[in-house]
Amino acid sequence: MSENLTSVDGICWSPNSELLCIWCSSSGEPKLMIYSAISEKHIVTYQPQTNIEYLNSIHESLTELKGIDNVKWSPSAQFLAITGYNEVVTLLNNITWKPLLSLYLDPVIRENNFLNKVYLEKTVNTNTSNGINVIYNKHVLEEEHDRPISIRIGRKNQIDVLSVATTDILEFSPCGRYIALRHEIYPTTLWIWDIVMNSVDYILLESPIVGVTWNPTRIHLLIFCKCTYFFEWTPNKAKCVTSPRNIIVLQGQWHKEGEMIALSGYGKSVIHRITD
């Protein structure tokens, strides 16, 4: 196989700076190349399948990567996550550099994996507790057990009508076991992929997701949606949290010890202490 690229559309170093990944996203000849900074040699070239005639089943056609959209190393550099233009993410291992697992961002949540959990945002009416009969809306996350569930498709902005929808959130947890994913076609849904169990937790929200951030010290994810509350996820539960001072949260930056986070949005910032 040729070691040349028709174009260079992305480049990234592994976390330990020992490997360099370069890729071409051309729909005609997508290709990814790995180089070693230690041996100063080309290690491997990975090329997604481009001809669907080679696929043996419908299942393979759904999980076979088409093109290269985004690439992200795991923290240990053991895995390389690659997203394509067909809502598929493929995981390469650093031994054979061949696909280890693939996940198709299916628009329907089915009963094919009993480990999958679905958390659905709901709005409930709540009375105040100070004796005044005032009803206000409270947002909560509740686990949904019914299947199948259709994932809501977003409307494309007219400005971006000619652009290709991509996976715009692709974040490994610090331990490397989980990957948080959001696709532009499904702006209110977050997939949290457990690559050890090959299972997925789904977070189905009412507003488009604008960002996520992993706690640096434990498996704990925050999800932001341009509103006055945000969402917390751990492997055992998920919940909705009112933002301090009711600021509209756009992003967060963790303290290195993982007990506090700086939340910011629209000219306002606040330091929030996380309590279990």
Contact at 8 Å (CB) between 166 and 154?
A: no
- Please give the helix or strand (H or E) that residue 66 lies within, else none: none
Report pLDDT for 150.
Answer: 95
Within this chain, do residues 155 and 95 fall inside the same structural domain, yes or no?
no
State which residues form the domain around 263.
Answer: 108-276
What does the angle CA 198 – CA 26 – CA 195 come to, to the nearest 5 degrees?
10
Within this chain, do residues 97 and 10 fall inside the same structural domain, yes or no?
yes
ω into 148 cis (within 30 of 0): yes
User: Residue 245 class from Cβ within 10 Å (0-12 exposed, 13-18 middle, 19+ buried)?
Assistant: exposed
Could you give the C-alpha distances from 180 to 28, 146, 157, 165, 173, in angstroms and in order?
28, 23, 24, 17, 8
Within this chain, do residues 86 and 200 fall inside the same structural domain, yes or no?
no
Within this chain, do residues 166 and 243 fall inside the same structural domain, yes or no?
yes
Within this chain, do residues 149 and 234 fall inside the same structural domain, yes or no?
yes
Question: Residue 12: which CATH number?
Answer: 2.40.128
Report pLDDT for 2.
Answer: 42
Q: Dihedral sign, CA of 155, 249, 238, 81? A: positive
Within this chain, do residues 115 and 95 fall inside the same structural domain, yes or no?
no
Report pLDDT for 276.
Answer: 67
Report pLDDT for 28.
Answer: 76
Contact at 8 Å (CB) between 37 and 17?
A: yes
Tokens 């932001």 appear where?
224
Q: How many domains does one find in the chain? A: 2
Question: What is the distance between the alpha carbons of residues 107 and 154, in angstroms, rounded to a whole number?
Answer: 12
Contact at 8 Å (CB) between 116 and 204?
A: no
| Last residue in a domain, options 61, 79, 104 | 104
Within this chain, do residues 131 and 192 fall inside the same structural domain, yes or no?
yes
| Last residue in a domain, options 104, 129, 161 | 104
Within this chain, do residues 113 and 230 fall inside the same structural domain, yes or no?
yes
| Last residue in a domain, options 71, 89, 104 | 104
Report pLDDT for 125.
Answer: 74
Rg, the chain, Cα only = 20
Within this chain, do residues 98 and 14 fall inside the same structural domain, yes or no?
yes
- The pLDDT profile of the chain, 276 residues, written as one tens digit per residue, is 346 777 898 999 999 999 999 999 876 788 999 999 999 999 999 998 654 434 444 445 566 888 899 999 999 999 999 998 889 999 999 999 999 999 999 999 998 878 899 999 998 876 665 655 555 678 899 999 999 999 999 876 644 655 678 899 999 999 999 999 999 999 999 999 999 999 999 999 999 999 999 999 999 999 999 999 999 999 999 999 999 888 999 999 999 999 999 999 888 899 999 876
Within this chain, do residues 182 and 274 fall inside the same structural domain, yes or no?
yes
Within this chain, do residues 263 and 159 fall inside the same structural domain, yes or no?
yes
Question: What is the distance between the alpha carbons of residues 161 and 142, in angstroms, rounded to a whole number?
Answer: 34
**For 96, left (φ over 0), alpha (ψ -120 to 50), or beta?**
alpha
Question: What is the distance between the alpha carbons of residues 183 and 154, in angstroms, rounded to a whole number?
Answer: 10
Within this chain, do residues 191 and 271 fall inside the same structural domain, yes or no?
yes
Q: Taking the model in full, what pTM does it have?
A: 0.88
**Beta-carbon contacts of residue 96 (< 8 Å; ≥ 6 apart):** none
